[in-house]
Amino acid sequence: MSAKNKPGSSMLWDEILKAIVDAMPEQLFPLFKELYGKEYPRGTPITLLATESSTYRENPDAPPGSRLCDIALLVNGTDYYHLECQMRNDQDMVIRMVAYDLHFAMQHTTSGEQNPDGLVMRFPRSAVIYPEKNSRIPDVLRCRIIFQDGSEHIYQIPTVRIQSYSLEEIQEKHLNLFLPYVLLRLRPRLNPKRKFPLTKNELTAFVDKVMIILKDEVEQGYLTEQEYDDYVNLFRRAAEKIFEKHADFRREVDRMTKPLIELPSVLQKRLIADNERLLANNEMLTADNEMLTVELADKNAELARMRSLLEQHHIPVNA
């Protein structure tokens, strides 16, 4: 496990989002529908784009440097998206997003089409995802930009406040990529001095709801079995981080999630798949052996024919 995604690392939440996008990028489609009203059918082409851009153009005299954003992708060959995962309510975030999107547009969308306005540069659809609850996070990040000619533009992008969605809303809108983060809403109640600290029964009921949602998404065809396993694994990683100082809660999540991957039915399914794979390999080997046998028979027949011709011409044949 890399340093970034160890349970104790503050980078874990960024890495969870990146892992989801890398392994199952179509899980972003419900989010795009929620934010922008854009719907994409399953199988729509997705291209993950480089997230590192040079800062050379900002100051050519400065030492070479780069800027690294979280997630950048192209959907259906036409629609560009840029997502950032942010834990803190950083007031400077909107400024960084302007810089990210400017570099993104320069790198991916600048068009040299001939038109009265010269070059065209399109910003991507951007959003900032906030996994942890914070009442001070606004609905949108906004920055007023005043150009040298006095014209103005309001740069505005939506925020995604994961903890503002109930489990029912997450299930209804198929926002499964929120599920690895939902345990964060329980973290404030881990303080034993709180009036109503978290109990084991409450945690059990909460985790049970999450597992039901994931299983229902598989049954409805919104998740594959592999994607289900991936989400369960990421959920457990999140639990390791959140409950790192609460071993009893950590064991409870582990008890409720780890066996799900090793249920007898799942184990049987995997053994059947392994057996079919071995049979297929054996059939391939058998077919290869049959081909070799035929080739060998053909070569022996050709050799016998050549020997017969040599003998007819009284040419000695070596044994």
d(CA 294, CA 302): 12
Q: Where are the domains of the chain?
A: 8-164, 168-258, 264-314
d(CA 28, CA 130): 15
Identify the residue with better confidence: 273 or 133: 133
Give the residue carrying structure tokens 């059918």: 41
| Residue among 30, 38, 17 nearest 173 (CA) | 30
d(CA 247, CA 250): 5
d(CA 112, CA 118): 7
In angstroms, what CA-CA distances link 145 with 90, 151, 159, 268?
Answer: 19, 8, 19, 60
Q: What is the pTM of this model?
A: 0.71
At residue 44, does pLDDT exceed 90?
Answer: yes
Q: What is the pLDDT of residue 266?
A: 54
Return the percentage of the chain with pLDDT > 70, whole number. 76
Most confident of 53-57, 67-71, 79-83, 112-116: 79-83
d(CA 266, CA 225): 10
| Residue among 299, 296, 303 nearest 311 (CA) | 303
Q: What is the pLDDT of residue 73?
A: 93
Q: How many residues does the chain have?
A: 319
Strands 140-146, 125-130: pairing is: unpaired
pLDDT digits (tens, 9 = 90+) for 1-43: 444 444 334 578 888 998 899 889 999 999 999 999 999 999 9
Half-sphere exposure of 270 (CA within 13 A, CB side): 10
Q: What is the pLDDT of residue 56?
A: 34
Task: Supply 221's token pair.
Answer: 């065809």
- State whether residue 152 is helix, strand or coil: strand
Give kind and range of the element (H or E) at residue 128.
Answer: strand 125-130
**Residues near 88 by beta carbon (within 8 Å), at least 6 away in sequence:** none
Task: Supply 87's token pair.
Answer: 């834990």
pLDDT digits (tens, 9 = 90+) for 156-174: 999 999 999 999 999 999 9
Single-letter amino acid code for the residue at 271: L
